Structure 1
Amino acid sequence: MDWSQVDVTIPQRARGAAPVPGVHMAGFRYRGARPIDITMVAHPAVTLLFDLGDHGWTAHDDAGKRTRGSVAIGLLPGNVSLTGAGSGACLQVRLSPVLAAQILDTAGLTRTFADLDDVLGPKARQLRSDLRSTTSWDERFAMTYDFLGGRLDARRRVDREVAYAWQQTSVRQGRSDIQTLAVETGWSRQRLWSRFRTQLGLSPKQAARLVRFDHAARLLADGTPPAEAAAQAGYSDQPHLNREVRSIVDTTPVGVATAPWLAIDHAAWPSFMPRGRQR
Structure 2
Amino acid sequence: MRRLSCPSGEWEIARALPDERLRPGVHSYRGFQIAPRRPQCRLELPQETVTLVIGFEGPVRITDAVHPACTPYTSLVAGLHTRAALGEHDGRASGMQVILTPWAAFRFLAVDMHELAESVVDLDAVLGARGRALADALAAAPGWAERFTLLDRVLTRACASGPVVCPQVLRAWELLCVGRRHLPVGKVAAEVGWSERQLRRRFQEQIGLSPMAVTRVVRLRHALHLLTTGASTTATAAACGFHDQPHFQHEFKAMTSLTPAEFLAHRAQAIAGPACVDRIAGRVTSVLLPA
Q: TM-score range by the shorter chain?
A: 0.7 to 0.9
CA drift of 1:159 comes to: 0.8
Count of residue correspondences = 269
Mapped pair 1:172 → 2:179: yes
5, 20, 23: which one aligns with 2:22: 20
Gaps of 5+ in 1: 274-279
**Aligned counterparts of 1:83 and 1:266: Cα–Cα separation in 2:** 13
CA drift of 1:272 comes to: 3.7
Judging by fraction of residues, say which structure has more strand: 2
- Going from structure 1 to structure 2, the CA distance change for 1:25 and 1:262 (only over 3 Å counts) comes to farther
Q: Which residue of 2 aligns with 1:96?
A: 101
Percent of paired sites with the same residue: 26
Q: Which residue of 2 aligns with 1:276?
A: none
The correspondence of residues 1-279 of structure 1 with structure 2, limited to 5 A, is 5-11=10-16, 20-21=22-23, 22-23=25-26, 24-53=28-57, 55-61=58-64, 62-76=67-81, 78-104=83-109, 105=111, 106-152=113-159, 154=161, 156-173=163-180, 175-257=182-264, 258-259=266-267, 263-264=274-275, 269-272=280-283
Partner secondary structure for residue 36 of structure 2: coil
TM-score, normalised on structure 2? 0.82
**Aligned counterparts of 2:98 and 2:61: Cα–Cα separation in 1:** 18
**Aligned counterparts of 1:262 and 1:96: Cα–Cα separation in 2:** 25
**Aligned counterparts of 2:15 and 2:139: Cα–Cα separation in 1:** 17
Q: Which residue of 1 aligns with 2:288?
A: none
In the alignment, residue 48 of structure 1 is paired with which amino acid? L
Cα shift readout 1:139-189 (whole Å, capped 9, x = no counterpart) = 111112222222215561121001110111111336011221122112223
**Aligned counterparts of 1:192 and 1:12: Cα–Cα separation in 2:** 31
**Aligned counterparts of 1:139 and 1:12: Cα–Cα separation in 2:** 13
CA drift of 1:221 comes to: 3.1
**Aligned counterparts of 2:73 and 2:162: Cα–Cα separation in 1:** 32
**Aligned counterparts of 2:180 and 2:128: Cα–Cα separation in 1:** 33
8 Å contact 1:197–1:203 — kept in the other structure? yes
Gaps of 5+ in 2: 1-5, 285-291
CA drift of 1:8 comes to: 2.1
Q: Bigger shift: 140-149 or 41-50?
A: 140-149
**Aligned counterparts of 1:79 and 1:271: Cα–Cα separation in 2:** 19
Cα shift readout 1:98-139 (whole Å, capped 9, x = no counterpart) = 111222222101011111111222111111111111351111
Partner secondary structure for residue 6 of structure 1: strand
- Going from structure 1 to structure 2, the CA distance change for 1:254 and 1:92 (only over 3 Å counts) comes to farther
TM-score, normalised on structure 1? 0.85
CA RMSD of aligned residues (A): 2.7
Partner secondary structure for residue 5 of structure 1: strand
- Going from structure 1 to structure 2, the CA distance change for 1:4 and 1:255 (only over 3 Å counts) comes to farther
CA drift of 1:253 comes to: 1.5
CA drift of 1:96 comes to: 0.2
